[in-house]
Amino acid sequence: MKKRSKKILLVFFALGLLGGWLYIKSQPELNKTLASPDEYQVQKVVDGDTIEIFRYGKTEKVRLIGVDTPETLDPRKAVQCFGKEASDNTKHLLEGQKVRIETDPLVGERDKYNRLLAYVWLGQDKLINLDLINNGYAHEYTYRSQTYKYQSGFKSAEKTAKENNLGFWSPQTCNGKTK
């Protein structure tokens, strides 16, 4: 009888743990209060497709994978059409926020400038890289014909933004000509 009682007790204990975990996951307000080790404070928005986060005790520059916003800081180029708007939009979305980052083994971890290459998530479901393309602040960007995880979705989002004349695709702004 003792072995059976212990097994039953263990089953109830495991069910209790599972039930508690499921309850917490189903409560968005509880999830927001739980500290997550994979959330990082945005320290600065450098431009539309580059940010700085505080990670592992230091500031780290992050280049968003799969997007290219019009330039605002390249000393070799003039500020491109809709560059300031794209930068301001990214600042509005991310300045002072906590974000999650997702790297992509297909792309690699760093670019030639030693920036961390990542998808940037705000909250549980807002992929900033995709949001920039969806709203016409960024082009889909494939580096050297290299595939990446969300490539088809990003290309589809660009097509939709273009068809709907959003952001720099609008004839009233750049008509898609940002360079």
Q: Are residues 29 and 117 in the same domain?
A: no
In a domain, 25, yes or no: yes
CATH assignment at residue 134: 2.40.50.90
Domain around 19: 2-33
State how far the Cα of 140 lies from the Cα of 150, in Å rounded to an integer: 10
Confirm whether 175 is domain-assigned.
no
| Token pair in block for residue 45 | 């928005």
Q: Which of 4, 29, 55, 63 is catalytic?
A: 63
Identify whether 110 is a catalytic site residue: no
Instruction: Report the predicted TM-score, pTM, of the whole model to 2 decimal places.
Output: 0.77
Residues 24 and 71 grouped into a single domain:
no
> Is 179 inside any structural domain?
no
How many other CB atoms are there within 10 angstroms of residue 73's CB atom?
12
Q: Looking at the chain, how many residues does it have?
A: 179
pLDDT over 80 (residue 30): no
The answer to whether residues 152 and 96 belong to one domain is yes
Q: Among this protein's residues, is 95 annotated catalytic? A: no
Residues 74 and 162 both lie in one domain: yes
Burial of 149 (0-12, 13-18, 19+ CB in 10 A): middle
Answer yes or no: is pLDDT of 58 > 90.
yes
Active site residue 4: no
Which entry of 60, 85, 115, 140 is annotated as an active-site residue?
115
Q: What are phi and psi of 130, to 5 degrees?
A: -70, -40
What pLDDT is recorded for position 178?
A: 84
> 74-130, pLDDT tens digit by residue?
888 888 999 999 999 999 999 999 999 999 999 999 999 999 999 999 998 999 999
Domain count within the chain: 2
